[in-house]
Amino acid sequence: MRTTILSGALLAFVASFYPAAALATAVVVTGAPAPKYAALDRAVEAFMRGQNIHNAEFAMSEHGKVVLSHAYSYGAAGTMPAMIFRLASNSKAWTSAAIYTLFLRGTISRSTLAFKYLGITKPLPTRAHVDPRVFTITVGNLIDHKSGWDDTKPPKFDPTHAMRRIARALHMNKPIDETTMVRYQLAQKLQEQPGWTYAYCNICYDILAMIVERSSHMNYEDYVVRNVAAPMGVSNLKASPTLEPRLPGEVRHYYSIYTGLSAIYVRSGKKVPDPNGGDSFIRSVDLGAGGWATNAESMLALMDRYLIWGVGPLRPGAHWAREGSDEGTNTWAEQRADNKHWAFLINTRNYKSANAFGTFAKQIDRLLSKVP
């Protein structure tokens, strides 16, 4: 264990933004010493101090061998390298890997028509009009984020973060499930022709999760755990619950400054923390796109076998990165062309400066390029 002490001047600077009670005087680092990568530790520690991040994990592999795996704690309960964190959109990489295994089995392909395969033809509300182009959306379109839905354009609707709204629109007294969410989305306007235009799409990966279930005749969660994680020796891939208590081995808290009305207690007027459903998001419903949790080393295991972006095996010389971001969560996973892969997991996304997380990722890449 190594402890880094804050300078008095830096502590005063940070305290000007955050209450003194929330701060500690040290970043505690746990994990096997790795002197060769000390600059990476220093960068993580400085980032945590500067942005008041409480818990983090950083892991790195070279040519498939883990060379650095550290956990960091700052003003909060201790973190160990084996602890799991919510992955947010890095969950999509696990869904992609599951889809690839089914491609290899020949049960589905990129050209499989998604809704025909699932047998979903009736929207919610039942009298809603459906754009017939919806039924031309393929598995490949979903993978590539070319479904035709673009939530950056009017009406700017992402169902994965509107679960309470959907339940109330359908006059429900309970939280929605995956099928309800997808049938509601079926009636939403397409902004583009399917297959033509890239537009990042969360629900696309929840639809892919449903396709995994139909193709494998297994529960999606069980299929990924048994057929993607287990063959790589990963035993700590879990579905993170929306409500507390946290899972055994999961980081104790997800920090957010925001609250909202619950996506689970849909008739309650009481606000709850965003990471606990106040962001109108239920992680079990959105598991394929944003509900998984694991540790940084398990993300390395995935990246050493599968593409982190897209569907397929790791390709020599490929350079891909993926960010996951939800209230209480920010994650980064990167496959570099030089086979120095790295993953970084933290339990907040509320920063004091704009673009702080992306700037940090670029800093790590610069440092890695200098390591022989």
Contact 71, 57 (CB under 8 A): yes
3-class secondary structure, 326? strand
The ranges of the chain with pLDDT < 50 are: 1-24
Query: Where do the DSSP E strands lie in the chain?
Result: 2-5, 26-30, 55-62, 65-74, 85-86, 238-239, 259-261, 271-273, 292-294, 320-326, 329-335, 340-346
Tell me if the pTM is above 0.75. Answer: yes
3-class secondary structure, 37? helix
C-alpha 40/C-alpha 20 separation (Å) is 27
196-255 pLDDT, tens digit per residue, is 999 999 999 999 999 999 999 999 999 999 999 999 999 999 999 999 999 999 999 999
How many other C-beta atoms are found inside a 10 Å radius of the C-beta of residue 252? 15
pLDDT at 25: 61
Give phi and psi for 316, each to the nearest 5: -55, 135
pLDDT at 36: 94
